[in-house]
A and B are shown apart, each in its own frame.
Chain A
Amino acid sequence: MTDVPLHIQRRADGSWIEAQILEGVKPPDLIVVEGEWAAERSQVMQELLKQGVPRPNWPQSLHWDWRKKAPQLKLLASAGFGLVSEKRWQGVMLTLTEPYATQLNQDKGKPLLYIDYLEIAPWNWAIPAIGQVGQFRGIGSILFWKAIRQSQEEGFHGRVGLHALPQAELFYEKICRMTPLGRDPSKQNLLYLELSRIEAERHLKEDNKS
């Protein structure tokens, strides 16, 4: 496994804490992730129940069990990335380099990096309904940034595709500037979005300028 050093911001006091993006996440790592996250998810659920928060307002990834995603990492075209800080998994992303190809006109048919799963640790979820603010900020953004970089390294010019959960559509369309390409009946009508090479370059330019 290799790592990319960086800092993430603690929400409580705005301090920056050392972190690493780990590349080459393997199936046994996902079992560790699930071990760390399952108990936390259960606590979140108990609190949601106690506060009587309506089910549609619950985090839509509350069901996920990362152990079940482990077999996928055996595929040649798949890769796993983790964001680790304070010896805990703060976020995880699984990607595929095939069979997806871009649908956007300017690069139609060319390969892209497909994000199959992306999730942040339950203690980083901001859930106002139960007074949970989330420990670290921007974990999803860092993984998204990593996807753009990875796409470049694969020779895909930063092109990225994904199916967003409904609660995340706004983030990918408005904040990440991905293009929505319609709902996909083969993926439970999730919205499919793509990041064009132009927008990928803009993100990296903004990153370098700042």
Chain B
Amino acid sequence: MTNMTKHNGPSREWLLKMADGEDAVQSTSVGGMAANLGVLPPVAAESQRVFGRLIEFARRARGLSVEQLATHADVDLAEIVDIEREDHFIPTPRTVYQLAQVLNLPSGRLTEVAGLTTPRSDVSAAALKFAARSEPTATLSAAEREAFEEFVKVLVEATDGG
């Protein structure tokens, strides 16, 4: 690293005035390529909501924290949080595949649930039923576990049956 002084930085007075302005707003972040950043939600989709709930249940059923799931699946922690909490968040195919591996779910059917591919009608029906019976709580209740297991069964059967 060479040290070549070109000119000093801004004056303290100018900087203080600007910093006051900066303090009054939420952010100074610029992201011209934000299309790749997932920072703005696209149109709402039921499938993402069901997918998020399914991932959350599968994670809790295995006793994993969000951080542990992110580590095991090699997926950004923020993405897992968004999958579980944001109804509008669309995961990448890689993320869906990684989660399927860690949570022992069929990856092909999981991409259908995530809305990345067109779901079979039996998967759609099972997803709707699952969504109707699941509520986000700290631990899986017996009813939730039953709903989760039923849904996974449909996913596995749909996979086995082609």
Q: Which A residues are within 8 Å of any B CB, using their own CB?
A: 1-9, 16, 19, 21-23, 41-42, 45, 49, 55, 59-65, 68, 93, 114-120, 125-126, 137-145, 149, 162-168, 170-172, 174-176, 186-190, 203, 206-208, 210
29 A-B residue pairings within 8 Å (CB atoms): A5-B8, A9-B12, A9-B15, A21-B9, A42-B67, A55-B85, A60-B27, A60-B29, A63-B82, A64-B31, A117-B33, A120-B28, A141-B10, A141-B22, A142-B9, A143-B28, A145-B10, A145-B18, A164-B30, A168-B25, A168-B28, A170-B26, A172-B30, A174-B25, A176-B18, A188-B40, A190-B34, A203-B14, A210-B13
Q: Is A171 a contact partner of B22 (Cβ separation < 8 A)? A: yes
Tell me whether A207 and B10 are in contact in the complex, defined as CB-CB below 8 angstroms, given that A63-B37, A63-B76, A138-B22 are known contacts: yes
* B12 surroundings in chain A (CB, below 8 A): 7, 9, 16, 210
- Residue B39 CB within 8 A of the other chain: yes
Residue among B10, B12, B28 having the largest count of chain A Cβ atoms under 10 Å = B28
- Residue B11 CB within 8 A of the other chain: yes
- Residue B102 CB within 8 A of the other chain: no
Q: Is B30 a contact partner of A117 (Cβ separation < 8 A)? A: yes
* B77 surroundings in chain A (CB, below 8 A): 42, 45
- Residue B6 CB within 8 A of the other chain: yes
Q: Which residue of B lies closest to A203 (CB)?
A: B14
Q: Is B16 a contact partner of A138 (Cβ separation < 8 A)? A: yes
Q: Is A188 a contact partner of B34 (Cβ separation < 8 A)? A: yes
Q: Is A141 a contact partner of B28 (Cβ separation < 8 A)? A: yes
Q: Is A168 a contact partner of B13 (Cβ separation < 8 A)? A: no
Q: Is A2 a contact partner of B6 (Cβ separation < 8 A)? A: yes
* A61 surroundings in chain B (CB, below 8 A): 27, 29, 31, 37, 39
A184 nearest CB across to chain B (Å): 9
* A49 surroundings in chain B (CB, below 8 A): 81
| Cα of A166 to Cα of B25 in the assembled complex, Å | 11
Interface range, B side: 35 or more
Q: Which residue of B lies closest to A189 (CB)?
A: B40
Kindly list the 3 A-B residue pairs having the minimum CB-CB distance in the complex, ordered from nearest: A6-B9, A140-B28, A210-B13
* A125 surroundings in chain B (CB, below 8 A): 27
Q: Which of A3, A114, A206 contacts B32, CB < 8 Å?
A: A114
Q: Is A142 a contact partner of B10 (Cβ separation < 8 A)? A: yes
Q: Which residue of B lies closest to A184 (CB)?
A: B32
Secondary structure at the A interface, as helix, strand, loop or mixed, is mixed
| Cα of A81 to Cα of B144 in the assembled complex, Å | 51
Q: Is A3 a contact partner of B34 (Cβ separation < 8 A)? A: no
| Cα of A60 to Cα of B86 in the assembled complex, Å | 14
Q: Is B34 a contact partner of A171 (Cβ separation < 8 A)? A: no
* B40 surroundings in chain A (CB, below 8 A): 166, 188-190
Tell me whether A45 and B78 are in contact in the complex, defined as CB-CB below 8 angstroms, given that A7-B12, A141-B18, A145-B10 are known contacts: yes
- Residue B21 CB within 8 A of the other chain: yes
| Cα of A21 to Cα of B34 in the assembled complex, Å | 25
Tell me whether A165 and B27 are in contact in the complex, defined as CB-CB below 8 angstroms, given that A137-B22, A188-B35 are known contacts: yes
- Residue B3 CB within 8 A of the other chain: yes
Q: Is A149 a contact partner of B22 (Cβ separation < 8 A)? A: no
Q: Is A137 a contact partner of B28 (Cβ separation < 8 A)? A: no
